[in-house]
Amino acid sequence: MTEANITSAKIAARNVDVFYGQKKAINDVSIDIDNGIVTAFIGPSGCGKSTFLRTLNRMNDTIAGARVDGQILLDGEDIYAPSMDSVALRARVGMVFQKPNPFPKSIYENIAYGPRIHGLASAKSDMDRIVENALTKAGLWEEVKDRLNDAGTALSGGQQQRLCIARAIAVSPEVILMDEPCSALDPIATARIEELIDELKESFAIVIVTHSMQQAARVSQRTAFFHLGSMVEYGETDQIFTNPRETRTKDYITGRYG
């Protein structure tokens, strides 16, 4: 056992490199992500923050030519070990995407699909409870409870994104990864999602990638700054934004580049 395995972190990444073909997209990133808080990844476009996020639930597996070196531990278990099933992993580490992507099915079906394929509900009443519970946690229940059979795609953009969050919650994950979840939304919908993220951190470890430094400052307790595929600095959000240790971090948050 290496020392990396002795950690209380929910997710522990150790010396992670990511390659797309010959190109190295992520260079030697090590980070501990804890339960009960929101961790934000910030950095300029193309810095690798989304790429790194997608290694945390092996979403990069679906991309031909992508390769991950190093170790990523979820509760001390190597998620890239041959014994780890990527399907089971993604049920434990859920994901919300940049553009709301509900299935072109009913609102109910959008939520029920995950629990059904994982066998989480044995009866219709169980499923109804899961759906209501997930929609309630995502703050969408009051708005949609009378039209659960309407198409999920007929909702507004902000509602669709909350539906996607509810869909992720419904399979009871331990971690929720969010890849710029508000970049396609207007400010009011964004504010609602941010409130939601703040509530959800009680139940899930949340990792959010964001372009907006204000958003990172508002919703997160810890922030990691990425630049050119490396993690430059990682610390308490307050410290990163008020008293960054690295010049590059300081230049970025003061708008020198980005």
Contacts to other proteins by CB under 8 A: 57, 59, 62, 64, 87-92, 94-97, 99, 101-104, 113-114, 117-118, 151, 153, 164, 167-168, 170-171
Choose between 118 and 250: whose C-beta lies nearer to other proteins.
118
Q: Cβ(152)–Cβ(102) under 8 Å?
A: yes
Helices (H), the chain: 49-55, 86-92, 107-117, 124-137, 141-144, 157-170, 187-200, 213-219, 237-242, 247-253
In whole angstroms, how close is the CB of 130 to other proteins at the nearest point?
13
In whole angstroms, how close is the CB of 251 to other proteins at the nearest point?
33
In whole angstroms, how close is the CB of 92 to other proteins at the nearest point?
8
Choose between 98 and 136: whose C-beta lies nearer to other proteins.
98
In whole angstroms, how close is the CB of 111 to other proteins at the nearest point?
10
> Roughly what angle, to the nearest 10 degrees, separates helices 187-200 and 157-170?
20
- Three-class SS state of 201: coil
Choose between 72 and 95: whose C-beta lies nearer to other proteins.
95
Exposed, middle or buried, 160 (CB in 10 Å: 0-12/13-18/19+)? buried
Choose between 91 and 182: whose C-beta lies nearer to other proteins.
91
In whole angstroms, how close is the CB of 18 to other proteins at the nearest point?
17
Nearest-angstrom CA–CA distance, 95 and 64: 20
- Three-class SS state of 250: helix
In whole angstroms, how close is the CB of 225 to other proteins at the nearest point?
25
Q: Cβ(214)–Cβ(185) under 8 Å?
A: no
Choose between 70 and 152: whose C-beta lies nearer to other proteins.
152
- Three-class SS state of 212: coil
Choose between 27 and 101: whose C-beta lies nearer to other proteins.
101
